[in-house]
Chains A and B, each alone.
Chain A
Amino acid sequence: MSFGRFSIIGIGRAAFFAIGCTLSNPAEDLKYLFPDMTSYKEDLKEFPKLADGKAQFQALRERLGSDLDPIYETYETPYTIYYVFKNSKKIGLVHGVNVPGKGGVIQVFLSVDPASAQVKKFFFQRLESSAADQLRSKEFRNQFDGVSLADFYKHDYYVAAKSKTSVDKIAKITPPKIDPSGRQDYDATIRGIRKNLLLLDFFVYDRKFEPFFERAKQKAKQ
């Protein structure tokens, strides 16, 4: 039997676990994504270990715009960021998150450009859905190439401003042709990509896209 790998960190004696999202076979998977890779490094991030963890977690919820799952998106959930190297040069950054879908957890992974934080490749590790084939299709996934967290914030801004523009990359994304039963998993996927980019912005990029969020927030208040 094969199952997606997930890490469990026990918190206390009670049956309470924080379930993270890691690659099933990091060495193989990363080599598949980056054939030039010579080494990789794992960096485990957890909100409780941050000085302002509670505030950051609250900020994540606010920027995500939805409640967090009580099991798979808890304060204690660990996040593993994979840094990929070609000799001493950092050539990639890979990160996965769990998001609750209709058929259990969906594991949404992003490979981003270390310098620009733009998506280079989006893929699933675990996805059980009536729309699995459509969501896994390259046509759908390739639409996210080059997208960054700034694009999600900009999209929020344009939605608040009720304006349509050709620079809104998120608005241009075409959902795959799925029947209504798969819609929940499509929405979970989009939420997963946004959450993934948000966490990377928090943990790796020192919240460099924050001005875009503030702008969208101001617009929404108007």
Chain B
Amino acid sequence: MFQFTRFIGLAIKNLRRRMIRTALTISGVALAVAVAVSLGGFMLGYKGAIDKSIEMLGFQVMIMAKGCPYEAATMMLKGGTGLIYLPSDTYDKVKSDPDIESITPIFVGIAQKEGSGIRDEASQEKSFTIISGIDAPSFMTMKPWMKFKGGPGFEGGRWFSAGSKDEVVIGFEAAEYEQRKVGDIFYASITPAGSMTPVRHEFKVVGILERTGTQDDGTVFMPIDTAREYFNRPNQLTILGIKLKEFNQFKMHEFESRWLKLPEVQVVGLQQVKNTLVALVATAQTMIAAVAAIAVIVALIGVINTILMSVYERTGEIGIMKALGARRRDIFELIWLETLVICLLGALLGCLLAMLGTGAVEKAIKSLANLGVNGSIVNITPGVLGYAVLGAVILGFLGGLYPAWRAASMRPVDAIREGAV
């Protein structure tokens, strides 16, 4: 044990003798580990985000108009703008299905908002908001966790009355962006189907919802009939959200085959949504993993190179150590430990970098691709960090083998002679 401690001290001392080279090598390892940790965190976090988003939808199955399943998936999870509608009588046909525990119809539309800015023409630059027409009682059956925000400015929040034409409930983030309180007026310009001219409507905000971490946070809710009337789509729906009494693959298949007979609809199970999203990101993840693997290999080559150079530079010194009685095993362990120290320090620094850079990585990924989920998509856990450090140490052990063997194999006389040249 004492000898091991002494060897560690000696290894660190040797590394400090070539500070810049050591620092650069450690940086290389750190970068490779940071990439690997971020990737691991992304894989874990993205899966978690999908699971959470799906769970927070409140239903297991949805019926929507035929189209791309990916669009369907992202529309439900993140709120989309590629809206296709289904006939509203689908609801009447499906709602009596014996396997359904609860069902809720949803109508989604996009409304224009006045732009903001200090320039005179700013009000002409429009922004948009997602309007969701819902049947509040059945919607709440699906999402019992939705609560109204309280506190100053938000007291007395409630759902709109069923037939109301001028009341809305606003999701947490939409209220924050729109800077609305309960009792404020909410303006929205809606272009009715078949018309080119938007009609401005004035609504009273009757409730602001607590944050849910889902697409509902960015949504403005109004009664489904009002939404359909204003969008001039009285006989259309966007989605039917369904919870089955018993949810398993067999039941899902049965349910699907019963309703796929309707020509214009697709039945989408949320497991299918999940698979679609995971499959879409899998390719990108494989590419990133390949980059991470290359980074690790390059870093490892860098470590081997650094240690080999150090061995060659210290040929004379190693020869003297051997002449003074150092065994092959001692030299081997010393060089091996140097490799290990570099890899361990690099791994720890890389983990730190990855943790500090989580926000930036998440922002970069989200800016590059629409992943179809809300919330955090990079989740760096102690397990991920542990595996990264362990991986770096194992690679260090392997990478140190050749330089350590090379140093240990030197003959004292040759080594002293070569070192003296």
Chain A CB within 10 Å, residue with most, of B119, B149, B179: B179
Q: Does B286 contact A (CB under 8 A)?
A: no
A70 to B152, Cβ gap below 8 A? Answer: yes
A38 to B123, CA, bound (A): 28
> Bound complex: CA of A23 vs CA of B153, how far in Å?
24
Among B181-189, B238-246, B273-281, B320-328, the stretch that binds chain A is: B181-189
Beta-carbon contact of A2 and B123 below 8 Å: no
B152 and chain A: residue at smallest CB distance: A70
Cα-based distance from A32 to B155 in the complex (angstroms): 41
B174 to chain A, nearest CB (A): 10
Cα(A185)–Cα(B266), bound, Å: 47
Residues of B near A126 (CB, < 8 A) are 116, 179
- Residues of B178-233 at the interface with A, using a CB-CB cut-off of 8 Å, are 178-181, 184-187, 200, 202
How many residues of A are counted as interface, with CB atoms below 8 angstroms from the partner's CB atoms? 39
Q: How far is the CB of B83 from chain A (nearest CB, A)?
A: 16
CB distance from B107 to the nearest CB of A (A): 20
Is A138 positioned at the interface, with any CB of B under 8 Å from its CB?
yes
Stretch at the interface among B64-72, B125-133, B304-312: B125-133
Contact digits for B152-192, partner A, Cβ 8 Å, 1 yes 0 no: 11000000000000000000000011111100111100000
Is the pair B118, A3 in contact by a Cβ cutoff of 8 Å?
no
B184 and A102 contacting across the interface, CB-CB below 8 Å: yes
- In the complex, whether B151 has a CB less than 8 A from a CB of chain A is yes
Could you tell me if B151 and A15 are in contact, using CB atoms closer than 8 angstroms?
yes
Given the known interface contacts A1-B127, A3-B127, A103-B187, the answer about A109 and B118 at a Cβ–Cβ threshold of 8 Å is yes
B357 contacts partner chain A, Cβ-Cβ < 8 Å = no
Which residues A105-144 have CB closer than 8 A to chain B?
Answer: 105, 107, 109, 123-130, 132-133, 136, 138
> Which residues on A sit within 8 Å (CB–CB) of B115?
2
Q: A103-B186, A105-B179 are in contact. Are A128 and B118 (CB under 8 A)?
A: no
Name, among A8, A15, A33, A136, the residue most crowded by chain B CB atoms within 10 Å (CB to CB).
A15
Q: Which of A15, A124, A181 is B149 in contact with, Cβ under 8 Å? A: A15
Is B118 within 8 A of A33, CB to CB?
Answer: yes
Say yes or no for A104: interface residue by CB 8 A criterion. yes
Residues of B within 8 A of A4 (CB): 116-117, 179
Closest-by-CB residue of A relative to B115 is A2
Per-residue interface assignment for chain A, residues 57 to 93, with 1 indicating a CB less than 8 Å from any chain B CB and 0 otherwise = 0000000000001111000000000000000000000
Please name the residue on chain A nearest to B210 by beta carbon. Answer: A15
User: In the complex, which residues of chain B have a beta carbon less than 8 angstroms from the beta carbon of A138?
Assistant: 120
Interface string of B229-260 (1 = CB under 8 A from A): 00000000000000000000000000000000
Given contacts A2-B125, A15-B151, A130-B200, 9 further A-B contacts (CB under 8 A): A2-B127, A6-B179, A29-B117, A32-B119, A100-B181, A100-B184, A102-B185, A123-B118, A136-B120
Query: Which 4 interchain pairs have the tightest Cβ spacing?
Result: A70-B152, A105-B179, A4-B116, A126-B116
Interface residues in chain B, defined as those with a beta carbon under 8 Å from any beta carbon in chain A: 113-120, 122-123, 125, 127-129, 149, 151-153, 176-181, 184-187, 200, 202
Residues of A with Cβ closer than 8 Å to B?
A: 1-4, 6, 8, 15-16, 19, 23-24, 29, 32-33, 69-72, 98, 100, 102-105, 107, 109, 123-130, 132-133, 136, 138, 181
